[in-house]
Structure 1
Amino acid sequence: MTKVLVLYYSAYGHIETMAYAVAEGARSASAEAVVKRAPETVSDDRAKAHHFKMDQAAALATADELPDYDAIIVGTGTRFGTVASQMRSFWEHTGGLWMAGKLVGKIGSAFTSSGTQHGGQESTLLGFIPTFLHHGMVVVGLPYSFSGQTGVEEVKGGSPYGASTIAGGDGSRQPSAIELEAARFQGAHVAAIAAKLGRSEAELL
């Protein structure tokens, strides 16, 4: 069975919600999907002072376990147009995996969240692609076969680079139905491609 890791960092819970939708999508494509989170890098006192969501059930991930999966779908909020430092810190610890080529040929995909419609969602997703490529991973996005990302009838995230949600300036907006649908679609799409790659590799062997 194809194994998918949904690896996320979520300060306020929006990406956490999206992560479980991504995992749901992967499971709908007959994959085993595990949801884990990157460790927090700020102190508990500071996190509480800034109203971070502290009650997240997902277990903490470690870099050493990444090779156990066929696909890794990364979720992180946008910070000034780029990946949140907590997720970046997690990947800073993957140098040993890079040196050993442990992630070569695996699927890499990403999703994100920002406070505003133009708050850096695309730059965050595009900015993470080099990390996947340095590891020799195969990058998968959110294709336009998910037609929900093309309409303008409502405020919504989503781009060909990955699913996304808009939290609102005060963080009060939660992922919408169409944004969660995009997350599920991406999870299923990644899982399906990972399964095809796995079959092709098995045939070569």
Structure 2
Amino acid sequence: MVKILVLYYSRNGSTEAMARQIARGIEAVPDNEAVLRTVPAVSTVCEKTAADIPEQGAPYATLDDLKQCAGLALGSPAYFGNIASPLKYFLESTTELWFSAALSGKPAAVFTSSGSLHGGQESTLLAMMQSLIHHGMMIVSVPCNEIALKETKTGGTPYGPSHVADDHSGISEHERAICHALGKRLATTALKLSK
């Protein structure tokens, strides 16, 4: 069984909903398992500690989760066109994985959600890619022939799935399809590379 890590931060639930849809796409490919993980919030006023296990949602990610995965889907809300601080903080703790090249050669994909139409989705996706490229990961995009990518009136980019959460309507049908397509592509790529 090939394990694909779906690592995300979500403050209001939209990025988590996308993570779950990507996980469904991953698990639609035989011999693949999606492992959902999140990161704790970061305090802006003092050193903050979090319980080892969150009260709800996915468990917190560890460096071992990254070492053991065959592929990675990384998701963050878009805050002023950039990665959410909690996810960036976690990524900044991965130096030992960079020194050992533990992620080099593994496939990776990115996804995001923003609170407004012009919330910096594509720049957030590109910012996440930078960290993954530094680790030597291979970026997997949304397939260019994905019909939902051409028909969507809500979210979706060639770089990775996206969602605008300003109307609180939830993930649209097209956004779900784009998430599934990316999950399937990531899983299929990881499976081929693990042989």
Q: What TM-score do you get using the length of structure 1 for normalisation?
A: 0.86
2:137 match:
137
**2:148 equivalent to 1:151:** no
- When the two structures are aligned, how many residues end up with a matched partner? 185
Q: Which amino acid aligns with 2:194?
A: G
The 5 Å alignment of 1:1-205 reads 1-30=1-30, 31-42=32-43, 56-151=56-151, 154=153, 156-168=154-166, 172-199=168-195
Ranges in structure 2 where 5+ consecutive residues have no aligned partner: 45-53
- Tell me the alpha carbon deviations over residues 130-188 of structure 1, each in whole angstroms, 9 at most, x when there is no partner: 11111011111112121211126x3x1111100011101xx623111211111111111
CA distance in 2, matches of 1:4, 1:68: 9
Question: Which ranges in structure 1 are unaligned for 5 or more consecutive residues?
Answer: 44-53, 200-205
Quick check: which one's helix share is greater? Answer: 1
Change in Cα spacing, 1:55 to 1:12, as seen in structure 2 (3 Å) is farther
Q: Is the 8 A contact 1:166 1:173 kept in 2?
A: no
Among the aligned pairs, what percent are the same residue?
A: 38
Provide TM-score, normalisation by structure 2. 0.90
Q: Say which SS state the counterpart of residue 116 (structure 1) adopts.
A: coil
